[in-house]
Structure 1
Amino acid sequence: MPTLLHIDSSPLGEASVSRHLTSEFVQGWKTANPQGQVITRDVSSTVILPVNAAWVGAVYTPAEALTPEQKQITALSDTLIGELQTADEYVFGVPMHNFSIPSTLKLWIDQIARVNKTFSYATGVPKGLLTGKKATILIAAGGVYDAGTAMASYNFADPYLRTVLGFLGVTDVTVLAAGGVSAIMQGKVDRETFLTPHVTAIRSSFKAA
Protein backbone atom coordinates (compact mmCIF):
# COMPACT_ATOMS: atom_id res chain seq x y z
CA MET A 1 0.00 0.00 0.00
CA PRO A 2 1.56 3.36 -1.03
CA THR A 3 1.91 5.85 1.81
CA LEU A 4 2.23 9.64 1.72
CA LEU A 5 3.62 11.66 4.62
CA HIS A 6 1.97 15.09 4.61
CA ILE A 7 3.90 17.69 6.61
CA ASP A 8 2.64 21.22 7.23
CA SER A 9 4.60 23.94 9.02
CA SER A 10 2.64 27.17 8.60
CA PRO A 11 1.21 28.74 11.76
CA LEU A 12 -1.59 30.49 9.81
CA GLY A 13 -4.18 27.71 9.68
CA GLU A 14 -6.81 28.13 6.95
CA ALA A 15 -5.26 31.44 5.88
CA SER A 16 -2.06 29.64 4.90
CA VAL A 17 -1.16 29.43 1.21
CA SER A 18 1.26 26.53 1.75
CA ARG A 19 -1.47 24.56 3.55
CA HIS A 20 -3.87 25.20 0.69
CA LEU A 21 -1.29 23.82 -1.72
CA THR A 22 -0.51 20.71 0.34
CA SER A 23 -4.24 20.05 0.67
CA GLU A 24 -4.52 20.20 -3.11
CA PHE A 25 -1.53 17.88 -3.45
CA VAL A 26 -2.97 15.35 -0.99
CA GLN A 27 -6.28 15.37 -2.84
CA GLY A 28 -4.52 14.69 -6.14
CA TRP A 29 -2.37 11.99 -4.56
CA LYS A 30 -5.41 10.24 -3.10
CA THR A 31 -7.10 10.25 -6.50
CA ALA A 32 -3.97 8.77 -8.08
CA ASN A 33 -3.56 6.26 -5.22
CA PRO A 34 -7.09 5.26 -4.14
CA GLN A 35 -5.73 2.45 -1.95
CA GLY A 36 -3.05 4.64 -0.44
CA GLN A 37 -2.60 5.84 3.13
CA VAL A 38 -1.83 9.40 4.24
CA ILE A 39 0.08 10.20 7.44
CA THR A 40 -0.42 13.81 8.53
CA ARG A 41 2.12 15.66 10.65
CA ASP A 42 1.59 19.31 11.57
CA VAL A 43 4.87 20.51 13.05
CA SER A 44 3.37 23.87 14.01
CA SER A 45 1.10 22.14 16.53
CA THR A 46 3.44 19.31 17.55
CA VAL A 47 5.41 20.15 20.68
CA ILE A 48 9.04 19.63 19.65
CA LEU A 49 11.69 20.71 22.12
CA PRO A 50 15.12 21.96 20.98
CA VAL A 51 17.91 19.41 21.03
CA ASN A 52 19.82 19.47 24.33
CA ALA A 53 22.67 17.53 25.94
CA ALA A 54 20.35 14.86 27.35
CA TRP A 55 18.88 14.21 23.89
CA VAL A 56 22.31 13.95 22.29
CA GLY A 57 23.44 11.55 24.99
CA ALA A 58 20.35 9.40 24.51
CA VAL A 59 20.62 9.08 20.72
CA TYR A 60 24.26 8.02 20.99
CA THR A 61 23.49 5.39 23.62
CA PRO A 62 23.05 1.80 22.34
CA ALA A 63 19.38 0.77 22.31
CA GLU A 64 19.94 -2.03 24.81
CA ALA A 65 21.54 0.39 27.28
CA LEU A 66 18.90 3.13 27.19
CA THR A 67 17.42 4.11 30.53
CA PRO A 68 13.65 4.67 30.87
CA GLU A 69 14.32 8.42 30.94
CA GLN A 70 16.36 8.24 27.74
CA LYS A 71 13.64 6.22 26.00
CA GLN A 72 11.18 8.94 26.92
CA ILE A 73 13.54 11.63 25.61
CA THR A 74 13.85 9.93 22.21
CA ALA A 75 10.22 8.77 21.93
CA LEU A 76 9.06 11.64 19.71
CA SER A 77 12.14 11.37 17.50
CA ASP A 78 11.49 7.64 17.07
CA THR A 79 7.87 8.35 16.11
CA LEU A 80 8.80 11.02 13.57
CA ILE A 81 11.48 8.83 12.03
CA GLY A 82 9.01 5.95 11.88
CA GLU A 83 6.67 8.12 9.82
CA LEU A 84 9.46 8.89 7.36
CA GLN A 85 10.46 5.25 7.10
CA THR A 86 6.87 4.09 6.56
CA ALA A 87 6.04 6.58 3.83
CA ASP A 88 7.01 6.16 0.19
CA GLU A 89 6.49 9.81 -0.62
CA TYR A 90 6.55 13.12 1.24
CA VAL A 91 4.89 16.48 0.68
CA PHE A 92 6.05 19.50 2.65
CA GLY A 93 4.11 22.74 3.06
CA VAL A 94 6.70 25.41 3.80
CA PRO A 95 6.16 29.15 4.28
CA MET A 96 9.37 31.12 3.93
CA HIS A 97 10.25 32.79 7.24
CA ASN A 98 13.08 35.32 7.13
CA PHE A 99 14.46 33.81 3.92
CA SER A 100 14.52 30.27 5.36
CA ILE A 101 12.20 27.65 6.84
CA PRO A 102 9.94 27.99 9.91
CA SER A 103 11.65 27.31 13.23
CA THR A 104 9.17 24.50 13.91
CA LEU A 105 10.29 22.68 10.76
CA LYS A 106 13.92 23.08 11.79
CA LEU A 107 13.08 21.52 15.17
CA TRP A 108 11.51 18.60 13.28
CA ILE A 109 14.64 18.20 11.14
CA ASP A 110 16.82 18.13 14.27
CA GLN A 111 14.69 15.26 15.59
CA ILE A 112 14.76 13.14 12.44
CA ALA A 113 18.38 13.62 11.35
CA ARG A 114 19.85 10.80 13.45
CA VAL A 115 22.92 8.70 12.90
CA ASN A 116 22.18 5.03 12.16
CA LYS A 117 18.50 5.90 11.80
CA THR A 118 18.24 8.21 8.80
CA PHE A 119 21.93 8.45 7.87
CA SER A 120 25.08 6.47 8.55
CA TYR A 121 28.84 6.93 8.70
CA ALA A 122 29.45 3.16 8.77
CA THR A 123 31.75 3.31 5.73
CA GLY A 124 33.51 6.49 6.83
CA VAL A 125 31.45 8.72 4.56
CA PRO A 126 27.84 9.86 5.07
CA LYS A 127 25.18 7.68 3.53
CA GLY A 128 21.47 8.52 3.57
CA LEU A 129 19.22 5.70 4.75
CA LEU A 130 15.89 7.06 3.47
CA THR A 131 16.39 5.74 -0.03
CA GLY A 132 13.76 5.11 -2.69
CA LYS A 133 11.62 7.98 -1.43
CA LYS A 134 10.17 10.95 -3.32
CA ALA A 135 9.54 14.44 -1.94
CA THR A 136 7.57 17.46 -3.10
CA ILE A 137 8.21 20.80 -1.40
CA LEU A 138 5.52 23.46 -1.73
CA ILE A 139 6.93 26.83 -0.70
CA ALA A 140 4.92 30.00 -0.13
CA ALA A 141 6.88 33.25 0.14
CA GLY A 142 5.92 36.87 0.55
CA GLY A 143 8.36 37.94 -2.16
CA VAL A 144 9.58 36.32 -5.35
CA TYR A 145 12.85 34.41 -4.94
CA ASP A 146 12.92 32.32 -8.12
CA ALA A 147 16.22 31.75 -9.91
CA GLY A 148 17.14 34.73 -12.02
CA THR A 149 15.23 37.25 -9.91
CA ALA A 150 16.81 40.07 -7.91
CA MET A 151 16.07 38.30 -4.62
CA ALA A 152 17.15 34.79 -5.65
CA SER A 153 20.26 34.85 -3.43
CA TYR A 154 18.04 35.38 -0.38
CA ASN A 155 16.35 32.02 -0.83
CA PHE A 156 17.76 29.67 1.79
CA ALA A 157 14.60 27.56 2.15
CA ASP A 158 14.76 25.57 -1.07
CA PRO A 159 18.55 24.88 -1.06
CA TYR A 160 18.55 23.95 2.62
CA LEU A 161 15.69 21.46 2.34
CA ARG A 162 17.16 19.89 -0.80
CA THR A 163 20.49 19.52 1.00
CA VAL A 164 19.00 17.96 4.14
CA LEU A 165 16.79 15.56 2.20
CA GLY A 166 19.68 14.60 -0.09
CA PHE A 167 21.91 13.94 2.92
CA LEU A 168 19.23 11.58 4.25
CA GLY A 169 19.01 9.75 0.92
CA VAL A 170 16.01 11.50 -0.65
CA THR A 171 17.26 12.73 -4.02
CA ASP A 172 14.00 12.70 -6.02
CA VAL A 173 12.84 16.16 -4.95
CA THR A 174 10.42 18.53 -6.70
CA VAL A 175 9.99 22.14 -5.56
CA LEU A 176 7.00 24.26 -6.49
CA ALA A 177 7.28 27.86 -5.27
CA ALA A 178 4.39 30.27 -4.84
CA GLY A 179 6.21 33.57 -4.56
CA GLY A 180 4.56 36.94 -4.11
CA VAL A 181 2.03 36.05 -1.41
CA SER A 182 2.37 39.59 -0.03
CA ALA A 183 0.28 40.78 -3.00
CA ILE A 184 -2.72 39.03 -1.43
CA MET A 185 -2.12 40.72 1.92
CA GLN A 186 -1.78 44.11 0.21
CA GLY A 187 -5.02 43.63 -1.74
CA LYS A 188 -3.26 43.75 -5.11
CA VAL A 189 -4.64 40.36 -6.13
CA ASP A 190 -7.41 38.17 -4.76
CA ARG A 191 -6.47 34.86 -3.18
CA GLU A 192 -8.18 32.64 -5.77
CA THR A 193 -6.50 34.40 -8.68
CA PHE A 194 -3.12 34.05 -7.01
CA LEU A 195 -3.60 30.37 -6.20
CA THR A 196 -4.98 29.29 -9.59
CA PRO A 197 -1.67 28.81 -11.49
CA HIS A 198 -0.08 26.99 -8.54
CA VAL A 199 -3.06 24.69 -8.10
CA THR A 200 -3.02 24.03 -11.84
CA ALA A 201 0.68 23.11 -11.66
CA ILE A 202 0.00 20.63 -8.85
CA ARG A 203 -2.90 19.03 -10.72
CA SER A 204 -0.83 18.84 -13.89
CA SER A 205 1.95 17.02 -12.04
CA PHE A 206 -0.42 14.13 -11.35
CA LYS A 207 -1.69 14.03 -14.92
CA ALA A 208 1.89 13.82 -16.17
CA ALA A 209 2.84 11.04 -13.76
Structure 2
Amino acid sequence: MKLLHVDASPKSERSISRSLARHFVSCLRKQNVELDIDYLDLTKNPPSYIDELFTIAAYTPAVQRTAAMEQALARSTELCQRVLDADALLFAMPMHNFSYPSVFKAFIDNIIRAELTYVVSSSGQYIGQLTRQKALFITTRGTDMRAGMPLSHMDALTPSLKAAFGFIGVQNPSFVNAQPTQFAAAEEREKALERARNQLSDVARKWAKEQNFQ
Protein backbone atom coordinates (compact mmCIF):
# COMPACT_ATOMS: atom_id res chain seq x y z
CA MET A 1 0.00 0.00 0.00
CA LYS A 2 1.39 3.37 -0.98
CA LEU A 3 0.46 5.76 1.83
CA LEU A 4 0.65 9.52 1.52
CA HIS A 5 1.11 10.73 5.11
CA VAL A 6 0.62 14.47 5.58
CA ASP A 7 1.23 16.29 8.89
CA ALA A 8 -0.02 19.85 9.33
CA SER A 9 0.61 20.67 13.00
CA PRO A 10 2.91 23.62 13.73
CA LYS A 11 4.09 21.74 16.81
CA SER A 12 6.82 19.13 16.55
CA GLU A 13 7.39 16.60 19.32
CA ARG A 14 4.57 18.07 21.43
CA SER A 15 2.03 17.55 18.65
CA ILE A 16 -0.79 15.17 19.53
CA SER A 17 -1.98 14.82 15.93
CA ARG A 18 1.52 13.80 14.80
CA SER A 19 1.75 11.27 17.61
CA LEU A 20 -1.61 9.76 16.70
CA ALA A 21 -0.62 9.55 13.04
CA ARG A 22 2.52 7.63 13.98
CA HIS A 23 0.35 5.35 16.12
CA PHE A 24 -1.88 4.63 13.14
CA VAL A 25 1.09 3.75 10.93
CA SER A 26 2.29 1.40 13.67
CA CYS A 27 -1.17 -0.19 13.82
CA LEU A 28 -1.10 -0.80 10.06
CA ARG A 29 2.27 -2.50 10.32
CA LYS A 30 1.00 -4.68 13.16
CA GLN A 31 -1.73 -5.80 10.75
CA ASN A 32 1.05 -6.87 8.34
CA VAL A 33 0.20 -4.15 5.83
CA GLU A 34 3.24 -3.52 3.65
CA LEU A 35 3.69 0.23 3.45
CA ASP A 36 5.45 2.47 0.98
CA ILE A 37 5.19 5.83 2.77
CA ASP A 38 5.35 9.16 0.98
CA TYR A 39 5.72 11.63 3.86
CA LEU A 40 4.96 15.35 3.70
CA ASP A 41 5.35 17.81 6.56
CA LEU A 42 3.45 20.89 5.44
CA THR A 43 5.02 23.10 8.11
CA LYS A 44 8.52 22.38 6.82
CA ASN A 45 7.63 22.29 3.13
CA PRO A 46 4.52 24.45 2.77
CA PRO A 47 2.67 24.82 -0.51
CA SER A 48 2.33 28.27 -2.01
CA TYR A 49 -0.77 30.28 -1.32
CA ILE A 50 -2.94 31.00 -4.31
CA ASP A 51 -2.12 34.23 -6.14
CA GLU A 52 -3.29 35.86 -9.36
CA LEU A 53 -0.80 34.11 -11.66
CA PHE A 54 -1.67 30.70 -10.21
CA THR A 55 -5.38 31.32 -10.72
CA ILE A 56 -4.94 32.45 -14.33
CA ALA A 57 -2.56 29.58 -15.11
CA ALA A 58 -4.81 26.92 -13.58
CA TYR A 59 -7.66 27.82 -15.91
CA THR A 60 -5.55 28.32 -19.01
CA PRO A 61 -5.41 25.25 -21.31
CA ALA A 62 -2.08 23.48 -20.90
CA VAL A 63 -1.07 24.04 -24.52
CA GLN A 64 -1.52 27.80 -24.07
CA ARG A 65 0.41 28.24 -20.82
CA THR A 66 3.58 30.29 -20.72
CA ALA A 67 6.73 29.14 -18.97
CA ALA A 68 5.87 31.48 -16.10
CA MET A 69 2.44 29.89 -15.78
CA GLU A 70 3.90 26.40 -15.70
CA GLN A 71 6.35 27.49 -13.02
CA ALA A 72 3.51 28.95 -10.96
CA LEU A 73 1.71 25.60 -11.12
CA ALA A 74 4.73 23.33 -10.69
CA ARG A 75 4.37 22.63 -6.95
CA SER A 76 0.62 22.18 -7.27
CA THR A 77 1.08 19.72 -10.13
CA GLU A 78 3.57 17.76 -8.04
CA LEU A 79 1.19 17.59 -5.06
CA CYS A 80 -1.69 16.50 -7.29
CA GLN A 81 0.44 13.67 -8.64
CA ARG A 82 1.35 12.56 -5.14
CA VAL A 83 -2.28 12.24 -4.06
CA LEU A 84 -3.19 10.52 -7.32
CA ASP A 85 -0.33 8.02 -6.99
CA ALA A 86 -1.26 7.06 -3.42
CA ASP A 87 -3.44 4.09 -2.51
CA ALA A 88 -4.33 5.65 0.83
CA LEU A 89 -4.23 9.13 2.34
CA LEU A 90 -3.44 9.95 5.98
CA PHE A 91 -3.94 13.55 7.07
CA ALA A 92 -3.19 14.68 10.63
CA MET A 93 -3.91 18.17 11.92
CA PRO A 94 -5.12 20.21 14.88
CA MET A 95 -8.30 22.24 14.70
CA HIS A 96 -7.47 25.95 14.48
CA ASN A 97 -10.35 28.28 15.27
CA PHE A 98 -13.00 25.72 14.34
CA SER A 99 -11.40 24.70 11.02
CA TYR A 100 -8.06 23.49 9.61
CA PRO A 101 -4.65 25.16 9.89
CA SER A 102 -4.00 27.73 7.17
CA VAL A 103 -1.19 25.64 5.70
CA PHE A 104 -3.62 22.75 5.16
CA LYS A 105 -6.07 25.11 3.43
CA ALA A 106 -3.21 26.02 1.08
CA PHE A 107 -2.63 22.31 0.47
CA ILE A 108 -6.29 21.82 -0.44
CA ASP A 109 -6.17 24.83 -2.77
CA ASN A 110 -3.16 23.26 -4.51
CA ILE A 111 -4.63 19.79 -5.00
CA ILE A 112 -8.06 20.74 -6.32
CA ARG A 113 -7.06 21.14 -9.96
CA ALA A 114 -9.13 20.86 -13.11
CA GLU A 115 -7.94 18.10 -15.47
CA LEU A 116 -5.84 16.59 -12.70
CA THR A 117 -7.84 15.74 -9.57
CA TYR A 118 -11.20 16.47 -11.17
CA VAL A 119 -12.54 16.75 -14.69
CA VAL A 120 -15.66 18.33 -16.13
CA SER A 121 -17.74 16.11 -18.38
CA SER A 122 -19.36 17.27 -21.62
CA SER A 123 -22.61 17.66 -19.69
CA GLY A 124 -20.98 19.92 -17.10
CA GLN A 125 -20.71 17.30 -14.35
CA TYR A 126 -17.72 17.48 -12.01
CA ILE A 127 -15.98 14.10 -11.70
CA GLY A 128 -13.40 13.56 -8.96
CA GLN A 129 -10.41 11.40 -9.83
CA LEU A 130 -9.53 10.05 -6.37
CA THR A 131 -12.22 7.38 -6.21
CA ARG A 132 -9.86 4.50 -5.43
CA GLN A 133 -8.02 6.12 -2.50
CA LYS A 134 -8.82 5.34 1.12
CA ALA A 135 -8.59 8.38 3.37
CA LEU A 136 -8.22 8.97 7.10
CA PHE A 137 -8.36 12.35 8.80
CA ILE A 138 -6.91 12.55 12.30
CA THR A 139 -7.83 15.78 14.05
CA THR A 140 -7.29 17.15 17.53
CA ARG A 141 -9.65 19.63 19.15
CA GLY A 142 -9.08 21.69 22.28
CA THR A 143 -12.65 21.23 23.42
CA ASP A 144 -15.17 18.43 23.04
CA MET A 145 -17.25 18.80 19.87
CA ARG A 146 -18.77 15.35 19.79
CA ALA A 147 -22.48 15.08 18.97
CA GLY A 148 -24.58 16.27 21.87
CA MET A 149 -21.89 18.49 23.39
CA PRO A 150 -22.56 22.25 23.77
CA LEU A 151 -20.03 23.25 21.06
CA SER A 152 -20.72 20.45 18.57
CA HIS A 153 -22.36 22.92 16.18
CA MET A 154 -19.09 24.85 15.87
CA ASP A 155 -17.19 22.05 14.14
CA ALA A 156 -16.56 23.58 10.72
CA LEU A 157 -13.59 21.28 10.14
CA THR A 158 -15.34 17.97 9.45
CA PRO A 159 -17.89 19.22 6.88
CA SER A 160 -15.25 21.29 5.10
CA LEU A 161 -12.91 18.30 4.74
CA LYS A 162 -15.76 16.10 3.52
CA ALA A 163 -16.75 18.70 0.92
CA ALA A 164 -13.25 19.43 -0.40
CA PHE A 165 -12.12 15.83 -0.69
CA GLY A 166 -15.52 14.57 -1.79
CA PHE A 167 -15.32 17.00 -4.71
CA ILE A 168 -12.14 15.32 -5.95
CA GLY A 169 -13.58 11.86 -5.54
CA VAL A 170 -12.67 10.62 -2.05
CA GLN A 171 -15.49 8.35 -0.90
CA ASN A 172 -16.39 7.45 2.69
CA PRO A 173 -13.34 8.93 4.45
CA SER A 174 -12.66 7.93 8.05
CA PHE A 175 -12.40 10.51 10.83
CA VAL A 176 -10.74 10.04 14.21
CA ASN A 177 -11.07 13.14 16.35
CA ALA A 178 -9.20 13.39 19.64
CA GLN A 179 -11.22 15.69 21.87
CA PRO A 180 -10.88 17.43 24.27
CA THR A 181 -7.09 17.72 24.28
CA GLN A 182 -6.37 21.26 25.47
CA PHE A 183 -9.10 22.74 27.64
CA ALA A 184 -9.67 19.75 29.87
CA ALA A 185 -8.38 18.08 32.99
CA ALA A 186 -5.56 15.57 32.56
CA GLU A 187 -7.81 12.57 33.19
CA GLU A 188 -10.38 13.69 30.61
CA ARG A 189 -7.64 14.41 28.07
CA GLU A 190 -6.14 10.95 28.53
CA LYS A 191 -9.55 9.36 28.00
CA ALA A 192 -9.87 11.32 24.76
CA LEU A 193 -6.49 10.07 23.55
CA GLU A 194 -7.33 6.49 24.49
CA ARG A 195 -10.60 6.70 22.53
CA ALA A 196 -8.67 8.00 19.53
CA ARG A 197 -6.03 5.29 19.73
CA ASN A 198 -8.71 2.59 19.92
CA GLN A 199 -10.50 4.06 16.90
CA LEU A 200 -7.26 4.18 14.94
CA SER A 201 -6.67 0.51 15.69
CA ASP A 202 -10.14 -0.22 14.32
CA VAL A 203 -9.45 1.72 11.12
CA ALA A 204 -6.13 -0.11 10.66
CA ARG A 205 -7.86 -3.48 10.97
CA LYS A 206 -10.50 -2.38 8.47
CA TRP A 207 -7.90 -1.22 5.93
CA ALA A 208 -5.91 -4.43 6.32
CA LYS A 209 -9.02 -6.54 5.80
CA GLU A 210 -10.03 -4.58 2.71
CA GLN A 211 -6.55 -4.94 1.25
CA ASN A 212 -6.60 -8.69 1.80
CA PHE A 213 -9.84 -8.99 -0.18
CA GLN A 214 -8.65 -6.94 -3.16
Tell me the TM-score normalised to structure 1 length: 0.90
Distance 1:192 1:6 in 2: 25
Aligned residue in 1 for 2:140: 140
The root-mean-square deviation of aligned C-alpha atoms, in Å, is 1.9
Aligned residue in 2 for 1:195: 193
Aligned residue in 2 for 1:108: 107
Structure 1 stretches (4+) deviating beyond 4 angstroms? 190-194
Query: Residue 178 of structure 2 aligns to a residue in which SS?
Result: strand
Aligned residue in 2 for 1:51: 50
Aligned residue in 2 for 1:23: 22
Matches within 5 A, 1:76-115: 76-115=75-114
Distance 1:173 1:113 in 2: 17
Partner amino acid for 1:188?
A: A
Aligned residue in 1 for 2:165: 165
* Native 8 Å contact 1:183 1:189 kept in 2: no
Distance 1:113 1:204 in 2: 30
Residue by residue, what CA displacement relative to the aligned partner does 1:12-69 show, whole Å, maximum 9, x if unpaired? 1111111111111122223435433111111122232221110012112222333222
Deviation (angstroms), 1:206:
2.4
Percent identical among aligned pairs is 30
Deviation (angstroms), 1:194:
4.9
Deviation (angstroms), 1:142:
0.2
Gaps of 5+ in 2: 210-214
Distance 1:43 1:196 in 2: 26
* Native 8 Å contact 1:141 1:181 kept in 2: yes
Distance 2:62 2:114 in 1: 13
Partner amino acid for 1:93?
A: A
Distance 2:55 2:104 in 1: 19
The answer to whether 1:12 aligns with 2:11 is yes
Tell me the TM-score normalised to structure 2 length: 0.88
Aligned residue in 2 for 1:72: 71
Query: Residue 140 of structure 2 aligns to a residue in which SS?
Result: strand
Deviation (angstroms), 1:192:
5.8
Structure 1 residues 145-154 or 190-199, which shifts more?
190-199
Deviation (angstroms), 1:188:
3.0
Aligned residue in 2 for 1:207: 205
Query: Residue 163 of structure 2 aligns to a residue in which SS?
Result: helix
Partner amino acid for 1:11?
A: P
Distance 1:33 1:74 in 2: 38
